[in-house]
Chain A
Amino acid sequence: MDDLYREAILDHYRYPRRKGHLPEPDIHYHDTNPFCGDEITIELKIQDGVVVDAAFDGRGCAISQASASMMMEEIVGKSVEELKHWGKEEILEMLGIEVGPVRIKCALLPLKVLKAGLYGLTDWPE
């Protein structure tokens, strides 16, 4: 089958890692992609500027949900400052697939939610 649905993506979609909620998260942020209705909520526990625990919840396509699941595994142990500098490249490398101009929004939704949460935003600036 196609690269877009390589086994790692499907595996994270079928068996999402760190899916659920944290008891007392320091950061909680939720956003949607109005284009397709994908939804992601991210919760983080922060100690001394480092992510020590993370969870996500959401629904949507395989790309957005796998991206969130993979990102959860990546961010635990990383500093808030480092994560604030994450961009498209980090996510695409993590996913290991080529994503076209339409589906890129699905792939990047979890990052958008993560960064909005880390910057303490209430609304994503347009």
Chain B
Amino acid sequence: MALQTPRTDTALHDETQVTPDRLAELRAQFPILQRRVHGRSLVYLDNAATTQKPRAVIQTLDRYYREYNANVHRGVHTLSEEATAAYEEARQRVARFIHAPSPRQVIFTRNATEAINLVAYSWGAAHLGPEDEVLITEMEHHSNIVPWQILQERLGFTLRYVPMTDQGTLDLERLDELLTERTRLFAFVHVSNVVGTVNPVERLIAAARQVGARVLVDASQSVPHMPVDVQALDPDFLVFSGHKMCGPTGIGVLYGRRELLEAMDPFLGGGDMIREVTLQGSRWNELPYKFEAGTPAIAQAIGLGAAVDFLAQVGMDWIWQHEHTLTRYAYERLAEIEGLRILGPGPEQRGGLVAFTLEGIHPHDVAAILDREGIAVRAGHHCAQPIHDRYGIAASARASFYLYNTLEEVDRLVEGLEKVIQTFAL
């Protein structure tokens, strides 16, 4: 199939159209896409797990280590001043990217998981007791389930779940009954990493506000793929991981409402997060440093700064449209395969991923045979066991897209799946 400008439902400006030249130009910026796997050109469709890195990010990391590697916020020497400036500039870039009112509200963490744990231990431990409820959903990644379960053991609050419908959307009819005046926090995923559903985040936040509950949005699968404006959405907390958006591993972000962050106790204690330490006690540093104990992931933060600049240059609207085109095409082609079942809603309600099962063939076998064709997909429960339990399956295979994927790669996936079916020919 030729790469054609797709027909889209909304009129788009020229620069948002998926032209072959534009894609080829973008792909050329990702060195790894030149790789061959088992003799075939790599088709990387595991972007919900982690994305590949453009040259701009790789070179930024390289330059930091070659030219100005030093600790931040400490030395008065030139290298340390340069490293500190670059680290703080990266924070500003990230703040701009998500439209945060101030870079002080951008806390660097290891990843989204650590950001959620930070909120659980710093905010949760101070605000949750036996009379209280925390509401999450059946659609969450383990990272937004397990921290609350651990904390629940300790604090004795009630953990409740918004159920998922058979279509893979949140059962919003249950929301009024589940959100009560006892709900202290509503923590939910923006875009599911398994069913792909884009949740109605404005509506969910508005519902939480009505009962006075705080809101945490897991934006791990949305910030990398669509424009997200934290001032427009106005959640109390929002988290995401750098490595899922062209950045390095080991760097993530907690965005928080300023007065909440100011009032919270530190998560980890150590250097850099204090104003004054005496043997009698310590006073905390100001935001964001209060939450960044110890030497941070300096290179990774600077790398994330380069990544968000890269993404902004490509254009988040363009990325969202492009992935939507790929997803709709993949959905249609996969749906034609006999015995293939797609988990979750139709393409109009989902982000850039499709998880599926093939009748009689375990997802690991699917992924192993696709790998021999040079196609990388994820197989397993994708750290979201409750969703799979909901569908009565142990695992699924998942193809997830990013800005550099092409319609031809979807065709390669479909050919690969035909090979899987032939191999097993049950």
CB pair A60 B369 closer than 8 Å: no
**Chain B 361-386 per-residue mask, 1 if CB under 8 angstroms from chain A, else 0:** 11111001100100000011100000
Instruction: Report if B426 contacts A (CB, 8 A).
Output: yes
Q: Which residue of A lies closest to B380 (CB)?
A: A36
Instruction: Report if B395 contacts A (CB, 8 A).
Output: yes
Contacts of B368 in A (CB 8 A): 2, 4-5, 103
Majority DSSP secondary structure for residues of B touching A: helix
Contacts of A35 in B (CB 8 A): 380
CB pair B424 A2 closer than 8 Å: no
**Chain A 82-126 per-residue mask, 1 if CB under 8 angstroms from chain B, else 0:** 000000000000000000000100100000000000000000000
CB pair A5 B381 closer than 8 Å: no
Known A-B contacts A5-B369, A60-B362, A103-B368; A36 and B424 likewise in contact (beta carbons under 8 Å): no
Known A-B contacts A36-B380, A59-B394; A1 and B364 likewise in contact (beta carbons under 8 Å): no
Contacts of B364 in A (CB 8 A): 36, 60-61, 63, 103, 106
Instruction: Report if B313 contacts A (CB, 8 A).
Output: no
CB pair A36 B379 closer than 8 Å: yes
CB pair B362 A62 closer than 8 Å: yes
Contact partner, B372, options A2, A13, A39, Cβ 8 Å = A2
CB pair A37 B381 closer than 8 Å: yes
Nearest CB of chain B from residue A99's CB, rounded to whole Å: 10
CB pair B423 A1 closer than 8 Å: yes
Contacts of B363 in A (CB 8 A): 36, 61
Chain B: interface size category: 10 to 19
Instruction: Report if A10 contacts B (CB, 8 A).
Output: yes
A103 and B395 CA atoms in complex are apart in Å by 15
Instruction: Report if A78 contacts B (CB, 8 A).
Output: no
Nearest CB of chain B from residue A36's CB, rounded to whole Å: 5
A61 and B395 CA atoms in complex are apart in Å by 10
**Chain A 62-80 per-residue mask, 1 if CB under 8 angstroms from chain B, else 0:** 1100000000000000000
CB pair A5 B426 closer than 8 Å: no
Contacts of B424 in A (CB 8 A): 10, 13-14, 62
CB pair B365 A62 closer than 8 Å: yes
Q: How many A residues face the partner with a CB closer than 8 A?
A: 19
Contacts of A39 in B (CB 8 A): 394
CB pair B365 A36 closer than 8 Å: no
CB pair A5 B380 closer than 8 Å: no
Contacts of B419 in A (CB 8 A): 1
Nearest CB of chain B from residue A26's CB, rounded to whole Å: 29
Identify which of residues 1-15 in chain A touch chain B, using a CB-to-CB cut-off of 8 Å: 1-2, 4-5, 10, 13-14
CB pair A37 B372 closer than 8 Å: no
CB pair A36 B395 closer than 8 Å: yes
Nearest CB of chain B from residue A39's CB, rounded to whole Å: 8
Contacts of B362 in A (CB 8 A): 36, 38, 60-62
Nearest CB of chain B from residue A30's CB, rounded to whole Å: 15
CB pair B365 A37 closer than 8 Å: no
CB pair B426 A14 closer than 8 Å: yes
CB pair B395 A37 closer than 8 Å: yes
Q: Which residue of A lies closest to B395 (CB)?
A: A37
Specify which of A2, A38, A60, A63 lies most central, judged by the most chain B CB atoms within 10 Å of its CB: A2
A38 and B364 CA atoms in complex are apart in Å by 10
CB pair A2 B380 closer than 8 Å: no
Contacts of B365 in A (CB 8 A): 5, 61-63
Contacts of A62 in B (CB 8 A): 361-362, 365, 424
Q: Which residue of A lies closest to B38 (CB)?
A: A2
A36 and B368 CA atoms in complex are apart in Å by 13
Contacts of A63 in B (CB 8 A): 364-365
Contacts of A106 in B (CB 8 A): 364
Nearest CB of chain B from residue A105's CB, rounded to whole Å: 10
Nearest CB of chain B from residue A67's CB, rounded to whole Å: 13
Identify which of residues 266-304 in chain B touch chain A, using a CB-to-CB cut-off of 8 Å: none
A60 and B353 CA atoms in complex are apart in Å by 24
A14 and B424 CA atoms in complex are apart in Å by 8
Q: Which residue of A lies closest to B393 (CB)?
A: A37
A38 and B361 CA atoms in complex are apart in Å by 13
Contacts of A60 in B (CB 8 A): 362, 364, 394
**Chain A 39-69 per-residue mask, 1 if CB under 8 angstroms from chain B, else 0:** 1000000000000000000011111000000
Specify which of B361, B362, B379, B394 lies most central, judged by the most chain A CB atoms within 10 Å of its CB: B362
Task: Other than A2-B368, A37-B380, give 11 A-B pairs with Cβ distance below 8 A.
Answer: A1-B423, A5-B368, A10-B423, A13-B424, A36-B395, A37-B381, A37-B394, A38-B362, A61-B363, A62-B361, A103-B368
Q: List 11 A-B contacts (CB under 8 A).
A: A1-B419, A2-B368, A5-B365, A5-B368, A14-B424, A37-B381, A37-B388, A61-B362, A61-B363, A62-B365, A63-B365
Which 6 A-B pairs rank lowest in CB-CB distance, beginning with the nearest? Answer: A37-B394, A61-B362, A61-B364, A62-B365, A2-B372, A61-B365
